[in-house]
Chain A
Amino acid sequence: MDDRLEKALEFSNYALTINNQKRNIRNRVAQLQIVHHLGGVFIANHETIAFVKALIDMKHKNSVVIDSKNNPITVKSLKDLLEKLVDAYTSATTEFDIENEKLKKARNIKKIMDW
């Protein structure tokens, strides 16, 4: 095989592998961001956290919040929900950061596999 093509295919495999690992991490992070609260399902992302925080800043202690399934949930304590959301967000992003750093340093398939 032409040496140039062999190197291109080797890189192509590396790209396939690393992209797949990145998607694995993103799936895991998405799962960690799911928060169940009072029968509702909330995603611990910037939007939800900022919205709940805005309600609290406007002196709301409780409120009806539409969850990720488009159901109205009567949140008795917005503070409790915010705490849960921030906890989930922090643990998800921390894991994301650790795994992402490992991948950034991996320059070949063997390193990606940590093998």
Chain B
Amino acid sequence: MGEILAPKGVCFFAYNNDQLDYVKMALTAGKYAKKNLHLPVCLITDEGSESWLNESQPKKLINEVFDYIVITNDKLKENRRRHFDSPWSEFAAQFNNSNKHKIYLYSPFEQTLLLDIDYIVKTDALLKYFDSNHPVCMFDNALTIRNELPLLPERFLYDAGIKMWWSTVVYFDRSDWSKLFFDTWAHVADNYAFYQYLYNFPSKLFRTDYCVSIAVHILGGMQETQVSLGNFDDTPIVNMSQKDDIIEANDINEWIMIAHDQKEEWKNILVKVGKQDIHVMNKRAFERVIPKLMETLNG
């Protein structure tokens, strides 16, 4: 475990690939987290991505957002992910997430909130969990921006399978239970093919959501009830799907989006998302509004 440098903070993993500028997204998400949570922010990345960050972004901004930068040198699994940008456009890119469980080692904080770079914190709602009794918290239910439940594969590992927990937002402390949880996550990640066979989840993509769901299931005595784990008080994670789009960011909080119908994808409605934390899964759409958001955030 690395040195503990601060009592509380937020961490982001960001490894660039040939399609997506993850460090740029981490910079934006970090700026939001800092503005609304008032906590130090740590970026966990590799040498190549950090070098691109220094080359492409102003030094002042990097120093302002990231209090700590941790450089990793892990051998990451080959993991091609299919991305959508609306229902009508798609692309594939390497998704480096196989070392996410090592956050327990990499985080410089006593209490850590690990966020994905596409999770935008627009409220201070997550702050209260730093004072909760749970050593680990994650979301275990989700809503689309149309306030509908996601399709079945995003709710269960398979049709008759266990409930899915989301690794998009993970709060944890340094308790023994947290250590046990991350060790179990690491074990599942290391034996992914076996657990794929056992839990029958789709095999193509390495998903940390599956790893944490199985770790939770094992630690819960193979039951649905949880003793040590928190689920952010049953609040849902709000997912903007990869097939939705951001039309306009009126200001830093008020975004107008197009939300597609999950069953009839050509049908859309407009949605205004205000002060609400949101998981922006369409990364291309996120990248398109970053210049406007950063201009407003910096202004």
Residues of A within 8 A of B (CB): 13, 16-17, 20-21, 23-24, 27-28, 30-31, 34, 36, 39, 41, 68, 99, 109, 112-115
Indicate if the CB atoms of B248 and A24 lie closer than 8 Å: no
Indicate if the CB atoms of A113 and B233 lie closer than 8 Å: no
CB-CB under 8 A for A17 and B256, given A24-B147, A34-B128, A41-B233: no
Which residues of B have CB within 8 Å of A36? Answer: 128, 131-132
Contacts A/B (CB < 8 Å), 7 sampled: A24-B271, A24-B272, A28-B274, A36-B132, A68-B233, A114-B250, A115-B248
Indicate if the CB atoms of A31 and B147 lie closer than 8 Å: no
Indicate if the CB atoms of A39 and B254 lie closer than 8 Å: no
Bound: A91/B259 CA distance, A: 29
B289 close to A (CB within 8 Å): no
Other than the given A24-B273, A36-B131, A112-B272, 13 more pairs (CB < 8 A) read: A13-B269, A16-B269, A17-B270, A17-B271, A20-B271, A24-B274, A24-B276, A27-B235, A28-B275, A39-B133, A41-B132, A114-B250, A114-B254
Pick the most buried of B125, B147, B254: most chain A CB atoms within 10 A of its CB.
Answer: B147
Task: Classify the secondary structure of A's interface with B.
Answer: helix
B34 close to A (CB within 8 Å): no
- Which residue from chain A places its CB closest to the CB of B133 in the assembled complex? A39
Indicate if the CB atoms of A109 and B270 lie closer than 8 Å: yes
Which residues of A have CB within 8 Å of B70? Answer: none
Bound: A39/B274 CA distance, A: 30
Bound: A14/B128 CA distance, A: 36
How many whole Å from B124's CB to the nearest CB in chain A?
10
Q: Which 6 A-B pairs have the closest CB atoms?
A: A23-B147, A39-B133, A36-B128, A113-B272, A17-B269, A34-B233
B217 close to A (CB within 8 Å): no
Indicate if the CB atoms of B270 and A31 lie closer than 8 Å: no
- Which residue from chain A places its CB closest to the CB of B257 in the assembled complex? A113
Bound: A20/B271 CA distance, A: 7
